[in-house]
Structure 1
Amino acid sequence: MSHPVPVITIDGPTASGKGTVAHRVAQALGWHVLDSGALYRLTALAVIQKDIDPDDAEAVAHVAQNLQVEFHPEGVRLDKLEASELIRQEQVGNLASRLAPNPLLRAALLGRQRAFRQAPGLVADGRDMGTIVFQDAQLKIFLVADVQARAQRRCKQLIEKGISANLKDLLADMRERDARDIERAVAPLLPAQDAHVVDSSNLTIDQTVQSILDLWSRV
């Protein structure tokens, strides 16, 4: 009997460090990585670029179904154009959070996400990787961090990229996004019953990665 390709899921709120940690864990194991949030952000970017009504659930799902996406080591391309920086804009992230509860959109992206499960293994980060997309994952992580710490991290990231950022506004946006993600009816943000909760508020990225690798070594 063939065993399924192993998966580690890393879920958690915005700016908890999921993306960076997922890439580092995947690198350490020599596995593939899925940034599921990027697919929602790419959909949001395409909705903005194509001037689609965000409240038109079918039109948004159609956009997601037909995304021309290409992930590469440095980021991602949309319709063959570099989109790595564009999808990190707060406007795009906020719209992605607004679009995420759309069940037609989630259904359109589900198959695309599961297709990333390829040998030798996959590290998948997002909001519902452990609860919905890869329910049979061998290790599920729910990565949390204090909202103040997350807002400061995001502010520092943006300033380092030359993007002006206001900590107070980021904190308000983050609290609003957390509430929206947690309270939504479809795939709300919550840890899977069998997930390990890792609080990275006072951990460095290296320490967070090591704690996940230690958990994996005990699976």
Structure 2
Amino acid sequence: MKQIVIAIDGYSSCGKSTTAKAVAAELGYAYIDTGAMYRAVTLYLLERQIAFDDLPRIEQALHDIHISFKRNRRTGRNELCLDGEIREDEIRQMRISNSVSEVSVIPAVRHALVRQQQRMGRKRGVVMDGRDIGTTVFPDAEVKVFMTADVLTRARRRQEELALNGESVELDDIVENLRKRDHIDSTRAESPLRRAADAVLLDTTHITIDEQVDFVLERVSAVLFSPATALPSYEEEGERNGSNTVI
């Protein structure tokens, strides 16, 4: 059976990563969380007190930083490694969420990470989630899904995720953070967050994770087994409620 690229883009806390992981596991594909890569760069810069407008130091940092993913045999999770050290919990902290969109708009950062992501997926057989997979990283991806949900639903999901990591954050603060990130991500000059013309829309506000996974797998089956089949989006169905071196 041929191997394909599955691009899952969308807003923060829509269930992209959870869905992408499950789809990858079902298909036996690699899973790449590109958002984690931007979070890793953000963590690296913050820990070294590199200002986000200090472009020479950022460009040097991009030559030095190593990002990879390691499977945790106990939990089955793919965990991000920064310079060989697992930093999965740190990159999910609210302080990183508050800064990652500022880092992701830096052209040098985007160019470096897009190149690494393209190397990671060049052999196909990969599920990749992020903001610009279907538009910039793999515009030729065979399956493209764009996920959304209302901001309050997303904020509640994010609050639950933070609580699991021992962080207590007010819901209003998370809503404000998500709205800020949505604006920055959607208006940046480099690879703005937008739905690819050929991406199907998946609104996850009122559906379960299992339904999200089934939705994507249906699209995959349509491509692999009956490529002429045109499948509608959830909105149309009436359900709208490689190398590890960065440079």
Deviation at 1:200, TM superposition (A): 0.7
**Superposed CA offset, 1:97-146 (max 9, x none):** 10111111111112210111155600010000000000100010001111
Q: Indicate how the Cα distance of structure 1 residues 177 and 120 shifts in structure 2: closer, same or farther if over 3 A, else same.
A: closer
Deviation at 1:149, TM superposition (A): 0.3
- 2:150 is aligned, of 123, 141, 146, to 146
Q: Give the Cα–Cα distance (whole angstroms) in 2 for the partners of residues 36 and 216 of structure 1.
A: 20
Deviation at 1:67, TM superposition (A): 1.7
Q: Give the Cα–Cα distance (whole angstroms) in 2 for the partners of residues 51 and 5 of structure 1.
A: 42
Question: Which SS does the other structure have where 1:124 is aligned?
Answer: strand
Deviation at 1:51, TM superposition (A): 1.2
Q: Give the Cα–Cα distance (whole angstroms) in 2 for the partners of residues 95 and 109 of structure 1.
A: 17
Q: Give the Cα–Cα distance (whole angstroms) in 1 for the partners of residues 38 and 163 of structure 2.
A: 24
Count the aligned residue pairs: 217
Matched, 1:185 2:177: no
Q: Which amino acid aligns with 2:70?
A: H
The TM-score, its normalising length taken from structure 2, stands at 0.84
Q: Give the Cα–Cα distance (whole angstroms) in 2 for the partners of residues 5 and 106 of structure 1.
A: 26
Q: 2:89–2:165: 8 Å Cα contact kept in structure 1?
A: no
Q: 2:16–2:129: 8 Å Cα contact kept in structure 1?
A: yes
Matched, 1:64 2:68: no
Q: 1:32–1:118: 8 Å Cα contact kept in structure 2?
A: no
Instruction: Give the corresponding residue for 2:130.
Output: 126
Q: Give the Cα–Cα distance (whole angstroms) in 2 for the partners of residues 42 and 110 of structure 1.
A: 14
Deviation at 1:66, TM superposition (A): 2.6
Matched, 1:96 2:94: no
Instruction: Give the corresponding residue for 1:52.
Output: 50
Instruction: Give the corresponding residue for 2:41.
Output: 43
Instruction: Give the corresponding residue for 2:245.
Output: none
- 1:6 is aligned, of 4, 7, 20, to 4
**Superposed CA offset, 1:6-28 (max 9, x none):** 10000001111111111110001
Q: Give the Cα–Cα distance (whole angstroms) in 2 for the partners of residues 58 and 5 of structure 1.
A: 39
Structure 2 unmatched runs, 5+: 72-76, 224-247
Q: Give the Cα–Cα distance (whole angstroms) in 2 for the partners of residues 92 and 68 of structure 1.
A: 18
Instruction: Give the corresponding residue for 2:19.
Output: 21
Aligned-residue Cα RMSD (Å) equals: 1.6
Q: 2:136–2:191: 8 Å Cα contact kept in structure 1?
A: yes
Question: Which SS does the other structure have where 2:163 is aligned?
Answer: helix
Q: Calculate percent identity across the aligned residue pairs.
A: 37
Instruction: Give the corresponding residue for 2:242.
Output: none
Instruction: Give the corresponding residue for 1:84.
Output: 88
Q: 2:5–2:124: 8 Å Cα contact kept in structure 1?
A: no
The TM-score, its normalising length taken from structure 1, stands at 0.94
Q: Indicate how the Cα distance of structure 1 residues 150 and 111 shifts in structure 2: closer, same or farther if over 3 A, else same.
A: same
Q: 1:64–1:109: 8 Å Cα contact kept in structure 2?
A: no
Q: Give the Cα–Cα distance (whole angstroms) in 2 for the partners of residues 177 and 133 of structure 1.
A: 20
Q: Trace 1:145-164 onto structure 2 (pairs within 5 A).
A: 145-164=149-168
Q: Which amino acid aligns with 1:179?
A: H
Matched, 1:199 2:197: no
Deviation at 1:183, TM superposition (A): 1.3
Report which of the two structures shows the higher radius of gyration computed on alpha carbons: 2
Structure 1 unmatched runs, 5+: none
Q: 1:12–1:142: 8 Å Cα contact kept in structure 2?
A: yes
Q: Give the Cα–Cα distance (whole angstroms) in 1 for the partners of residues 53 and 42 of structure 2.
A: 12
